[in-house]
């Protein structure tokens, strides 16, 4: 299948051919119809990839501290090897996906084959999504609109943290994709909305929706503008959806609030706060985390352990559903935000000009007839069993840094490498000249030419995979531990 990835080492954006993922418990396999290019987030990733090593370090001072600490504990060479190993890992792009369920994993009860869903899947023809990171799409909502679900949930979570009431005045700083959706949802909530931006096109879209806008490119004072529209009281709240290194935005946001107003940060801005700005009015400030409660919680996202609705009303999944419901009722219209649609094959039209593209939202379209395959030929050649042909299950750091470099030195014949997502296996197969990458371990076990199987997956998977490989008549090398419990 086709998937868009980012090479963090040189900044190149690539349309790679990788094996389609296999469904697993608690997940659904989705055939993509549309995916949304989030220009703000993805531009940052592209720019980071194109930056020099020094520029990368300056952009991530926290990671630099981690590297320095690792040098102190592990030494210089292991640290350098680890850093370059990390930069060699491809980054899958995209997180706004809509499509159709083609396979349902064990334990999933909320979906069936044929359901149209929205998820945080990548820019790929097939995506494997945990049950709690997908939501059913109502019949009246198009695939195009459904691709905005996740980005809409980011906007909605910022609003939930602000907790506006009917009739309050809220300022949205930055009318990009998230900012415009935030404004739309605030209007649906009965709020008076003021929007600040410097892009005439975005200001016009906001104005047409009923937002009172200010073009900050004209050097007008946003604090005076907000005060003039609120009878010199100030706004009840400010939601920052802009991206800027300046500290001025956070300062102005506090200044344009009324006493005991609220400021919510959804975007990325400078955070050198002035105590006086917040102290004198007792301004509340909070940073919003992505789609909502459950985000980055492995138990919720990967293991499907939902939060009780009586205690956590709005999880990230329920935020997805709320956004789709707003689209279904006509309360949220994203059609004016679509600047263009193009085939995934023409991805460079957007990624090649990402620094200068003034689009608000670009949709990638996928062929409805694309077939799925769990194996991709990378550097195929003739293999004979007598040569001791190897198949590797697991494409993590140990495989990348230790197993494959040493097998290469020994001149070993490695025919397959498998990983659950397929991308990491494909990249390692290209880097080390291996024959095939796969997401299906059975492809390795059923191949008569494979004599020896390396198992370098996560520890809890070792025992069952060893048993399967021995049962298939293969020699086995397993990285420790052999098993993690008596059973």
Q: In this structure, is residue 156 part of a structural domain?
A: no
CA distances to 152, 342, 385 from 338, rounded to whole Å, are 14, 11, 54
Q: What is the DSSP string of 423-458?
A: HHHHHHHHHHT-SEEES-HHHHHT-TTEEEEEE-S-
Out of 83-92, 254-263, 314-323, which region has the weakest mean confidence (pLDDT)?
A: 83-92
Which of 256, 287, 318 is the C-terminal boundary of a domain? 287
Q: Domain check: are 359 and 429 in the same one?
A: no
Asked if the model's pLDDT at residue 88 lies above 80, the reply is: no
CATH number at residue 237: 3.40.50.720
Sheet of 192-197: strands edge to edge? 212-215, 192-197, 169-173, 235-240, 257-265, 284-287
Structural domain for 466, as ranges = 375-478
Q: Domain check: are 341 and 384 in the same one?
A: no
Q: In this structure, is residue 61 part of a structural domain?
A: yes
Per-residue model confidence as pLDDT tens digits over 110-157:
999 999 999 999 999 999 999 999 999 999 999 999 999 999 999 999
Q: What is the pTM of this model?
A: 0.89
Q: In this structure, is residue 441 part of a structural domain?
A: yes
Using pLDDT thresholds of 50, 70 and 90, give the confidence band for residue 22. Answer: very high
Q: Domain check: are 172 and 59 in the same one?
A: no
**Which pLDDT does position 11 carry in this prediction?**
74
Q: Domain check: are 141 and 15 in the same one?
A: yes
CA distances to 72, 161, 295, 397, 400 from 85, rounded to whole Å, are 19, 38, 27, 8, 8
Q: Domain check: are 12 and 140 in the same one?
A: yes
Asked if the model's pLDDT at residue 263 lies above 90, the reply is: yes
User: How far is it, in rounded angstroms, from Cα 20 to Cα 432?
Assistant: 21
> Torsions phi, psi of 141, nearest 5?
-95, 125
Asked if the model's pLDDT at residue 78 lies above 70, the reply is: no
Q: Domain check: are 395 and 355 in the same one?
A: no
CATH number at residue 135: 3.90.180.10
Which of 365, 397, 419 is the C-terminal boundary of a domain? 365
Is the distance from CB of 449 to CB of 380 less than 8 angstroms?
no
Q: Domain check: are 451 and 404 in the same one?
A: yes
Q: In this structure, is residue 473 part of a structural domain?
A: yes
* Average pLDDT score over residue span 458-481: 95
* Average pLDDT score over residue span 383-397: 85
Sheet of 91-92: strands edge to edge? 13-17, 2-6, 91-92
Out of 76-80, 169-173, 328-332, 409-413, which region has the weakest mean confidence (pLDDT)?
A: 76-80
**Which pLDDT does position 350 carry in this prediction?**
87
Buried (b) or exposed (e) across 229-249, using 16+ Cβ within 10 A?
bbeeebbbbbbbbbbeeeeeb
Q: In this structure, is residue 209 part of a structural domain?
A: yes
Q: In this structure, is residue 158 part of a structural domain?
A: no
Q: In this structure, is residue 487 part of a structural domain?
A: no
Percent over 70 (pLDDT), the chain: 89
**Which pLDDT does position 382 carry in this prediction?**
82
Pick the more confident residue, 355 or 102: 102
* Average pLDDT score over residue span 51-73: 61
**Which pLDDT does position 352 carry in this prediction?**
80
**Which pLDDT does position 104 carry in this prediction?**
97
Per-residue model confidence as pLDDT tens digits over 280-298:
999 999 999 999 999 999 9
Q: Domain check: are 110 and 204 in the same one?
A: no
Pick the more confident residue, 245 or 72: 245
Asked if the model's pLDDT at residue 183 lies above 70, the reply is: yes
Q: Domain check: are 336 and 383 in the same one?
A: no
**Which pLDDT does position 7 carry in this prediction?**
82
Asked if the model's pLDDT at residue 55 lies above 60, the reply is: no
Which of 264, 287, 310 is the C-terminal boundary of a domain? 287
Q: In this structure, is residue 436 part of a structural domain?
A: yes
Containing 465, the helix (H) or strand (E) segment is helix 462-471
Q: Which residue has the tokens 């709005």?
A: 314
Q: Domain check: are 40 and 138 in the same one?
A: yes
Mean pLDDT of the chain: 90
Domain total of the chain: 3
Q: Domain check: are 7 and 114 in the same one?
A: yes
Pick the more confident residue, 269 or 59: 269
Q: Domain check: are 245 and 216 in the same one?
A: yes
């Amino acid at each position: 299948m086709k998937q868009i990835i980012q090479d963090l080492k040189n900044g190149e954006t690539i349309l790679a051919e990788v094996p389609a993922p296999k469904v697993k418990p608690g997940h659904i396999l989705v055939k993509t119809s549309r995916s949304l290019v989030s220009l703000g987030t993805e531009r940052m990733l592209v720019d980071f990839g194109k930056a020099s090593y020094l520029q990368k370090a300056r952009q991530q001072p926290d990671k630099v501290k981690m590297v320095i600490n690792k040098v102190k504990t592990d030494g210089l060479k292991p640290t350098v090897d680890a850093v370059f190993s990390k930069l060699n890992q491809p980054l899958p792009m995209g997180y706004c996906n809509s499509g159709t369920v083609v396979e349902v994993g064990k334990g999933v009860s909320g979906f069936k084959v044929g359901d149209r869903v929205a998820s945080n899947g990548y820019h790929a023809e097939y995506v494997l999504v945990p049950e709690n990171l997908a939501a059913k799409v109502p019949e009246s909502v198009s695939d195009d609109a459904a691709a905005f679900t996740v980005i809409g949930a980011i906007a909605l979570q910022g609003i939930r943290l602000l907790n506006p009431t009917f009739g309050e005045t809220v300022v949205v700083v930055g009318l990009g994709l998230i900012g415009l959706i935030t404004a739309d949802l605030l209007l649906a909530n009965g709020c008076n909305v003021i929007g600040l931006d410097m892009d005439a096109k975005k200001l016009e879209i906001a104005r047409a929706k009923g937002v009172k806008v200010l073009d900050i490119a004209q050097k007008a004072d946003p604090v005076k503008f907000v005060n003039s529209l609120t009878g010199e009281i100030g706004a009840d709240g400010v939601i920052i959806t802009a991206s800027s290194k300046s500290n001025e935005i956070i300062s102005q946001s506090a200044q344009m609030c009324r006493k005991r107003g609220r400021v919510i940060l959804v975007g990325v801005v400078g955070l050198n706060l002035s105590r006086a700005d917040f102290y004198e009015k007792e301004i509340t400030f909070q940073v919003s985390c992505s789609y909502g409660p459950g985000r980055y919680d492995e138990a919720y996202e990967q293991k499907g352990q939902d939060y009780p609705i009586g205690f956590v009303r709005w999880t990230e999944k329920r935020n997805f559903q709320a956004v789709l419901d707003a689209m279904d009722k006509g309360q949220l219209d994203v059609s004016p935000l679509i600047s263009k649609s193009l085939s995934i094959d023409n991805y460079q039209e957007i990624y090649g000009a990402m620094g200068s593209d003034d689009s608000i939202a670009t949709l990638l379209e996928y062929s409805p007839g694309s077939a799925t395959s769990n194996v991709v030929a990378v550097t195929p050649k003739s293999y004979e069993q007598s040569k001791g042909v190897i198949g590797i299950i697991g494409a993590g750091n140990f495989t990348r840094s230790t197993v494959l470099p040493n097998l290469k030195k020994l001149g070993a014949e490695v025919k397959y490498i498998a990983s659950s997502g397929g991308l990491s296996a494909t990249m390692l197969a290209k880097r080390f000249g291996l024959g095939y990458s796969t997401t299906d371990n059975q492809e390795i076990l059923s191949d008569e030419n494979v004599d020896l199987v390396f198992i370098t997956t996560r520890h809890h998977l070792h025992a069952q995979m060893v048993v399967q490989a021995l049962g298939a008549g293969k020699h086995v090398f397993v990285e420790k531990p052999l098993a993690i419990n008596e059973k």
